[in-house]
């Protein structure tokens, strides 16, 4: 299976939501995410990975702030507060949720 970012963003544009689930297999769920102006997400119950498609900004992950850009990989353990801040209008990212509720312990 192959989904490129342009196809994913076209599918997302048909929704009234900043995210769209594109693929699921076992515990893996792959989404495209493109918030507008403010990232309102809350901590999730499973481990999560972001791979930035486009744009730049700052990422707050459990109290640690870092900058991000295209191609960056960001890992967030289950239950940790996180959000994108001060991001450019073209920001979008792949989101991968995986593993059990509560996250993997190792």
Give this prediction's pTM: 0.94
For residue 105, name the pLDDT band (cuts at 50, 70, 90). confident
Q: Is the pLDDT of residue 13 over 90?
A: yes
Q: What is the mean pLDDT of residues 66-89?
A: 98
Measure the CA–CA gap between 41 and 87, rounded to whole angstroms.
15
Q: What is the pLDDT of residue 28?
A: 97
Point out which residues pair with 50 in neighbouring strands.
74, 95
What residue segments make up the domains of the chain, in order of their start? 1-34, 38-91
Asked whether the beta carbons of 77 and 44 are under 8 A apart, the reply is no
Share of the chain above pLDDT 90, in %: 97
Q: What mean pLDDT do residues 63-86 have?
A: 97
For the chain, give the mean pLDDT. Answer: 96
């Amino acid at each position: 299976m192959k989904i490129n970012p342009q196809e994913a963003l076209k599918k997302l544009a048909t929704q009234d939501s900043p995210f769209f689930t594109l693929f699921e297999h076992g515990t893996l769920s792959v989404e495209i995410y493109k918030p507008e102006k403010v990232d309102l997400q809350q901590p999730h119950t499973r481990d999560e990975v972001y791979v930035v498609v486009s744009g730049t900004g700052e990422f707050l992950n459990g109290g640690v702030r870092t900058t991000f850009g295209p191609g960056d990989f960001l890992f967030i353990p289950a239950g940790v507060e996180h959000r994108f801040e001060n991001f450019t209008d073209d920001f979008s990212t792949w989101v991968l949720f995986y593993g059990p509720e509560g996250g993997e312990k190792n």
